[in-house]
Amino acid sequence: MRNLSLNDYKKYENFDFRYPGSIQPHGVLLVIDIKTFTIIQVSENTKRFLGVKPKTLLGKPLTYLMYLKQIKNIKNILENNNHFVDIIKLKKKKYDTQFKGIFHRVQDSIIGELETFKLNDNNKNIDYYKLFQDAIINTGKTNDLKKLSAKITEEIRKITKFDRVLIYRFENDDSGVVIAENKREDIESYLGLHYPYYDIPNPARQFFSKKLLRMIPNIHDEPIPILPRKHPLKKKKLDLQNAFLRSIAPCHIEYLKNMGVTASFNISLLKENKLWGLIACHHYSPKYVIYEIRKICELLGEIFSLKLMYEEEKSFRQYRQTIKEIKKRIKEELSKNKNKHDFIDNIIQKNGDSFLKLISARGIAICLDNKIYVKGNTPKKKQIKALINDFLLPKKKDVFLQIFSQSHILFPEKLKKLLQEF
């Protein structure tokens, strides 16, 4: 898996997620003046979806396309809400296709996103409630953060049918780590891999904290420009941050291409309204996720966020208790051994396994008065001494390593604070 380079990161940082000026081509976009309900902006692909050229639609009343009853529904709902979804049937018989219409307000206008709505043989018999219910029940059977994370990826993959589903958690320094994964057997695993802070740049993290879903059905599709490019009343670029069809940053498309991914679908995981991580779905051929499945995933993302945070806090409390027990044993050993070298030797032999388990390590080394004590799988003492002299001592400050293992998940910022209690 190839992460962004620093050069890519700079390009990503400069990309304005709010004003891409285009949409993805799996739907069509209309901008409607909220006062007159006339069409003032459109995506260039209206001919393909609606059978009408873009320039023909501009300036037309919305009644040119839709029935008055539907328009009244849109108007009434958006007076009290910022979001409205409905099945839209266009007015004229030659445009008989039904659409899933998603509407929201922005810049004194209404943005309407229309995606073709078809109940084909593959989805008309889907029991959406059962999918949702099964995911809740199955993830409710686990009471461990690692197992819960793995179960979440399994359930989301059952629902979405993607080739790979993983949970990507942000660390305290904004770097990321893959803590769970469910995938096809024939593709490589990303489980346990770490990525630098610039792998998902700050603008993208801000976007994911506000928009819980992001779908890319096919990275090879060309974005569709919006006409005119600037909002005709505000004379500004159209704000598309809340538009689901919003086009994707070119450097992210390049990033997915380098991974061999053709389609992706992300679900945000939040902790206290801040981005904790992502459920990332990857597919190696084009894949469109219908609205109903997207909505299920959005609701599950909110529920899973709460479950993960609860298990994380529970795991932290267990860590605190383990540290207290080790601290108690150390005090007992200290009262028995006045000689500090005997004390260290007893501690590392009697409590070394507890230390190793605490930090998910295979080996531990303690250096006191130039004497080295080891437990478990460690380098030779001569190598440890060289590491201390060449790396640790010149820094003249604490070095705290961030650790992850597939057998346990640590929370470095909290663990460091607890260890300092010693």
Sorted by where each starts, the structural domains of the chain and their CATH numbers stand as 6-19+123-312 (3.30.450.40), 22-116 (3.30.450.20), 339-419 (no CATH)
Return averaged pLDDT per consecutive 10 residues of the chain, 422 residues in all.
Answer: 56 73 96 94 95 94 93 87 82 71 89 83 71 92 88 96 97 91 97 89 88 95 95 87 92 90 97 93 97 94 91 81 76 67 73 72 82 87 86 64 42 48 48
Name every residue whose Cβ is closer than 8 Å to that of residue 209 and which is 6 or more positions away in sequence.
268, 270, 273, 274, 275
Q: Residue 11's pLDDT is what?
A: 61
Pairing between β-strand 363-368 and β-strand 39-43 as defined by DSSP bridges: unpaired
pTM of the predicted structure, to 2 decimals: 0.78
Q: Residue 252's pLDDT is what?
A: 87
Please state whether 122 falls in left (phi above 0), alpha (psi between -120 and 50) or beta: alpha
Q: Residue 95's pLDDT is what?
A: 55
Enter the tokens of residue 221: 């599709």
Name every residue whose Cβ is closer than 8 Å to that of residue 78 and which is 6 or more positions away in sequence.
34, 84, 103, 104, 105, 110
Q: Residue 278's pLDDT is what?
A: 97
Q: Residue 402's pLDDT is what?
A: 42
Q: Residue 362's pLDDT is what?
A: 83
The closest alpha carbon to 283, from 195, 107, 157, 143, belongs to: 157
Q: Residue 323's pLDDT is what?
A: 75
Name every residue whose Cβ is closer than 8 Å to that of residue 259 and which is 6 or more positions away in sequence.
1, 2, 282
Q: Residue 9's pLDDT is what?
A: 57
* Amino acid at position 53, single letter: K
Q: Residue 13's pLDDT is what?
A: 64
The phi, psi pair for 25, rounded to 5°, reads -85, 10
